A and B are shown apart, each in its own frame.
Chain A
Amino acid sequence: MTKVHKLRECKIYKDRAKMEGLKLNCDKAEGAFDRIIEDYKVVAPKRIAGKGRFSDMDLVSYDMVESLSDIVFNDRTYFSAKSVFFPIRETMFNYDKGCVEDARIEEKLTIIFLRACDINAINIFDTMFLKNGGYQDCYYKRRRESVKIFLLECPRPFADCFCASMGTNKTDNYSVFIRKEENGYAIRINDEAFMKYFSEGAKAKVEPHFIEDDLGALNIPDSIDCSLFRNKMWEEYSQRCIACGRCNTSCPTCTCFTVQDITIEDNMQKSERWRIWSSCQVKNFSLLAGDHDFRILKGDRMRYKVLHKIIDFRKTFGFNMCVGCGRCDQVCPEYIGMAKCIKKINEICIADREEKL
């Protein structure tokens, strides 16, 4: 039996007064969490010891958690949570002697703990896969439908993040908000499906705190002049970028993938179709037949990425594709900054405009 879950199935209370706020001590909160994980798989920021890129460093990343105490509340994750609903490698369907069957996936509902920027990033994914050209991507949709969102708040901005500038600092698209406090947890329930797990605890007013100001505020240009394509600013990135692709793989809004048909056990009658993440910064992304490549220079690849995030996507869908989470800045081994690049573009646009006047 396939369960059918509707998108944003959670019944968000219209009447804000009805929203339940609670304070629970650690034991009671863990008790509620134990009941939740009987029904849901929970994915949240977790410290994975010794798995950092460099020796003797931990990796903070999204992973399955079995207790609230496993969750890292105060650190940004290295990777975003997108692999939960957009796996790095995904078998779409199997082909066997003329029969095509969609690959089966786990049915269990999944809760993801996300910050406001990352929740807004899911909106970008939904737009790309479900509201793009009148066609819905069924492989995305079925995974997305099983996702419930729990909100994590940001007590302060992280280094290099700029969600307030991107307008992605706030959200009410979440089922439950959980804040870790000194002697327990503060909880706010927005989705009545989760009321039953929180039968204990003292009523309290619980409001998530959202970042109001970025450490470095940015202006996003409304439009650009085509002359920006040939601007010298991109040359710097050709020198500095090493085309490693970490900015793409850590980004909560990069959606590019490539598709491959692969045969199983050398049996040409049997095969499967995969999709696999792709990165506009690594080699061969824009390689065509006859060895033609549109973007050999790394500066060209950077321009393609940045302008897609802040200009081209908006032309089609009306809002920006970057949520300002700052991960691409943090993971770049060459200290190339998205915020810095946007700033430069804005300065060039202002100078152009003044020149024309």
Chain B
Amino acid sequence: MYNTKTLIKNAFRVSKVRGESAIRLRVPGGHLQAKYLTVIQELAEKFGNGTVHLTTRQGYEIPGIKLAQLEEVKEHMAEMIAQIESSCGVILEEPAKGYPSAGTRNVSACIGNRVCRFANMDTSALAQKIEQVIYPNDYHLKVAVTGCPNDCIKAHMQDIGIIGSIVPEYDQDRCILCEACMDNCRKKITNALYIENYRMIRDEECCLQCGECVLKCPTGAFSRGEKIYRIIIGGRTGKRNPRLANTFIRNVSEKTVLEICRNVYDFIHRHIDRSLPKEHLGYIIDRTGFSTFASEVLEQIELSPAEEVVELNNPGYFYPKRK
């Protein structure tokens, strides 16, 4: 009666309750015009069971949708999903059919610099640019963008995590040696600052480029320099070998971030184990080896001297397995 493959392909869920589905909505960057909440409310109250679930990836899931009413539901939500995607620069060819891919893996983002004082960038805006690059995301690539190394969005649990950073610029002539930056860095971060000849020295090897020295400085001796990004790769949860992502490349520009996302997606296309319903990037890299991954992903990307590639080395966590 209902083709579950088609349902899943259009991002609808097959519920445990027979005859029911759930709608899943992408919210790239986790930021939404409030007007869509009215549509979400209508969908939940008219077609669902009156409740809405906020997903772990910042999407909406509306449960209790009768499969018999699915066509009507699709029509009701078509304009909204087309608008949300077009605001990210993605054109939905046939919005009345739903999303064209099962992979609702929403590109998620922390609140970013629209609100947060720690954030070094507009995370939602970058997430929406990444949405353009990987849409419709048939390979379920999990991407999250976080505004600073605090990593509130848990970019370390994603296939690709983007960490927003800045290069702190130091003007010795403005420094009053109050040590606020140094004390904070020692207690909370990596102790990257020390005083030599009455000026603050920043150990670039240790500095996470989080920008807290700028936040602490009462005179503006430390100020915001260039926005740069750190890409972390291979994080995942799951039943086989969960692990945190590792730093793959540091000090890159936004342009390089988008190029690498595109190349990672193509890399998955070439190497994914198609006998599995889906496979996380980290497992694919385990199979191909890091050097293959790095050379394919960085192909045709010109790296500046500051952009630094780091080898992945995190074996992750293994559950005991029967021999």
Which residues of A are interface residues toward B (Cβ below 8 A)?
A: 50-56, 59, 61, 78-79, 87-89, 244-246, 248-249, 260, 262, 274, 276-279, 282-283
Which residues of B are interface residues toward A (Cβ below 8 A)?
A: 113, 117, 119-122, 147, 166, 172-180, 197-198, 211, 214-216, 218-221, 223-224, 227
Residues of B within 8 A of A61 (CB): 220
In the complex, are the beta carbons of B178 and A282 less than 8 A apart? yes
Residue from the list B113, B218, B219, B220 in contact with A56, Cβ < 8 A: B113
In the complex, are the beta carbons of B218 and A248 less than 8 A apart? yes
In the complex, are the beta carbons of A55 and B219 less than 8 A apart? no
In the complex, are the beta carbons of B220 and A79 less than 8 A apart? yes
| Chain B contact residues: helix, strand, loop or mixed | loop
Residues of B within 8 A of A279 (CB): 176, 178, 218
How far apart sit A52 and B113, CA to CA, in the bound complex (Å)?
12
Given contacts A55-B119, A262-B198, contact A246 B176 (CB under 8 A): no
Residues of A within 8 A of B211 (CB): 55
**Knowing that A53-B220, A54-B117, A245-B180 are A-B contacts, what are 6 other residue pairs whose CB atoms are under 8 Å apart, sorted by A's residue number?**
A59-B223, A61-B220, A88-B174, A245-B178, A249-B218, A279-B176
How far apart sit A227 and B110, CA to CA, in the bound complex (Å)?
50
How far apart sit A10 and B119, CA to CA, in the bound complex (Å)?
48
Closest residue on chain B to residue A247 by CB atoms: B218
Tell me, rounded to whole Å, the shortest Cβ–Cβ distance linking A148 to chain B: 23
Q: Which of A54, A55, A89, A277 has the most CB of B within 10 A?
A: A55
How far apart sit A61 and B171, CA to CA, in the bound complex (Å)?
15
Residues of A within 8 A of B172 (CB): 89
In the complex, are the beta carbons of A55 and B120 less than 8 A apart? yes
In the complex, are the beta carbons of B121 and A55 less than 8 A apart? yes
How far apart sit A276 and B198, CA to CA, in the bound complex (Å)?
11
Tell me, rounded to whole Å, the shortest Cβ–Cβ distance linking A277 to chain B: 5
In the complex, are the beta carbons of A245 and B117 less than 8 A apart? no
Tell me, rounded to whole Å, the shortest Cβ–Cβ distance linking B194 to chain A: 17
In the complex, are the beta carbons of A54 and B174 less than 8 A apart? no
In the complex, are the beta carbons of B218 and A245 less than 8 A apart? yes
How far apart sit A55 and B216, CA to CA, in the bound complex (Å)?
14
In the complex, are the beta carbons of B176 and A88 less than 8 A apart? yes
In the complex, are the beta carbons of B198 and A51 less than 8 A apart? no
- 8 closest Cβ pairs, A-B complex: A55-B113, A245-B218, A249-B218, A282-B178, A246-B218, A277-B176, A249-B219, A55-B120
Given contacts A51-B223, A55-B121, A283-B179, contact A262 B218 (CB under 8 A): no
Tell me, rounded to whole Å, the shortest Cβ–Cβ distance linking A243 to chain B: 8
Closest residue on chain A to residue B198 by CB atoms: A262
In the complex, are the beta carbons of A53 and B198 less than 8 A apart? no
Residues of A within 8 A of B197 (CB): 262
Closest residue on chain B to residue A90 by CB atoms: B173
Q: Which of A54, A79, A87, A246 has the most CB of B within 10 A?
A: A54
